[in-house]
Amino acid sequence: MSYPGYPPQAGYPQQPGGYPPQPGGYPPQAGGYPPQAGGYPPQAGGYPQAPPQGKPSWGGGPAGGYPSIGLDSLSNPGYMAGMANQISAVMGGFNQNPSMFAQPGQPGQPGQPAPVPGYPQAPSPNPSMPAYTPGAMPIRGFRGTITDFPGADPLRDVEVLRKAMKGFGTDEQAIIDLLGSRSNKQRVPLLRAYKTSYGKDLIKDLHSELSGNFRSMVMATLKTPSEFDASEIHNAIKGAGTDEACLIEILSSRSNAEIKEISRIYKQEYKKTMEDAISGDTSGHFRRLLISLAQGNRDEREHVDISLAKQDAQALYAAGENKLGTDESKFNAILCARSKPHLRAVFLEYQQMCGRDIEKSISREMSGDLESGMLAVVKCIKNTAAYFAERLYKAMKGAGTKDTTLIRIMVSRSEVDMLDIRQEYVKNYGKSLYTHISGDTSGDYKKLLLKFCGGND
C-alpha cells in the first residue's frame, strides 16, 4: 500500500494488502536499529545475543564461568568435531566459531569464559535438530516467526502509524501490517521516534484510537520482553485474585538473566521488589516455589552427570512416593535449583526407578496451587514448546477465551520458539494453532494474532 509523501523504497515491496510474511527470515541488515536497553537477554534454547563487553559464559552464568566439577575427562573430542560439521551442514554454511567446539580447559567450554557466537547470516528455513545427548546443547536455527524487517526506518514507520491514526477513523490494517512485520528491537524505538517527529506520545495516541483485545495486543508489542513480563506479573498479582498460572509460566520459562532483568524493571516501575509483591499475595509451599524461581539462580550448565541425576531421582522418590506425607521442600530444592538438562535426565531416571511418571507422582502427592505449580515447572522443563502449546490450547478451548494468556504467549514467544510451539500444537491437538486462533477470535485482533503466529501448519 502506498502512502502520500512516502517514496517507494527498495526495502518496502509494493504489495497489495501490506507486507507478505517472509519465509526463512531476513539476514541482519547493516545500518539497522541500535540494540535497545532492556531488550532480549539470552533465551534458553535459542541463540544468545552478541556479547556485551567482557566474555560471558554460555547460558547467562557468572562471567568467570562455573567451577569445574571434576568431569572434564568425560569430554568427547570426536563428538564435538562431528557436531561442528553437522551444524555447518544444518545452517547452510554458517561460519563456525571454533570456541563453540572447544575442549575442556579452553575458552568456550562450560567452566571457562566463552566467546559467544553471533547470529548466523540466514537461518535455514528448516533446521534439523541433533539427537539429544545428555550434556549436549542442541544447536538450532532461529525458531521464531517475527524477524527483523530489512531496511526498516523508525522515522518512516512512525509516519505510517501517524497517517493511520490521523483524520476520521483509524486505518487498523496499516497498524497490523507494520507492527506484525517488525521485530521487537525495531518496534520499541518507535516510541521515541514518534515523540521526536510529532511531539506526542505513541502509546497515548494508540490507546485513544484503538480498543479491546486488539489495543491490548498492540500495547504488548511496544514493550521490551522484560518490560512486558514485569507488567504481566504486576497485573497477575494486583486486584482481587491472583493469576497463579501466569506467575509460574513466566518464572519457569525465562532464563536467569531474563528473571534478573524482570526483577530490576519491576522494582523501577512499581516501587517494590517482585519478591515482596509475590510474597504478599501467595502463601505456603506455593509461595516458596515462586520465590525460589524468582531468584533467577538456576544452574545453567549444560553438562549432565548421570550419577547425580540418579541421586536426585532417588531423593524425589524418598520425599514423595516412598514416605507417608510429602517432603515438599525436597521437590522445591531440586526443581528450582538444578539445570534443565540435568532435570530432564532426573525425570527419566525417576520413571525407570519407580515405573511412574514424575507428573503422576506430583498429582498423587500434592494438591491445589502447589500441584499445578510443580506440574507446570516439570512440563516446562521437559518440553517448553509443548508446555506453551498446552497453555494456548487451554486459553482457547471451551466457552470464552483467556485473552491475556493468548496475547502474552503469542507476543513473548514470537521471537523465541513459536515454530516449535506450532509443531507441538498440531501434533498434540490435531489442528493447527492458526486454525484454532482463526475460529476463536475475530476482527483486527485476529489479524494481528495470526501475523504473530506466522502461518498455518
Determine the Cα–Cα distance for residues 177 and 307; give it in Å rounded to an integer.
53
The H or E element spanning position 353 is helix 340-354
Candidates 251, 329, 343; CA nearest to 299 is 343
Cell of 392: 494456548
398 annotated as a binding-site residue: yes
* Cα-trace Rg, the chain: 23
Q: Position 93: which residue type?
A: G
Residues 6+ apart with CB under 8 A from 300: 58, 59, 60, 61, 255, 256, 339
Determine whether the annotation assigns residue 440 to a binding site. yes
Cell of 172: 487498523
Of residues 283, 282, 266, the one with CA closest to residue 274: 266
> CA 152 → CA 189, 264, 416, 426, distances in Å?
11, 30, 21, 33
* Nearest of 401, 402, 391 to residue 429 by alpha carbon: 391
What is the three-class DSSP state of 34?
coil
Contact (Cβ atoms closer than 8 angstroms) between residue 429 and residue 436: yes
CB 356 within 8 A of CB 317: no
Cell numbers of 108, please?
568456550
- Residue 17: all three cell numbers together: 494488502
169 is annotated as contributing to ligand binding? no
Kindly state the DSSP code that residue 132 receives in the 8-state scheme: P
What CA–CA distance (Å, rounded) separates 347 from 289? 18
| Phi, psi of 325, rounded to the nearest 5 degrees | 80, 180
From CA 414, how far away is CA 186, in angstroms rounded? 14
396 in a labelled binding site: yes
Residue 163 · residue 68 · CB < 8 Å: no
Residues 6+ apart with CB under 8 A from 222: 179, 187, 188, 190, 191, 202, 203, 206
Binding site residue list for Ca(2+): 396, 398, 400, 440
The binding site comprises 396, 398, 400, 440
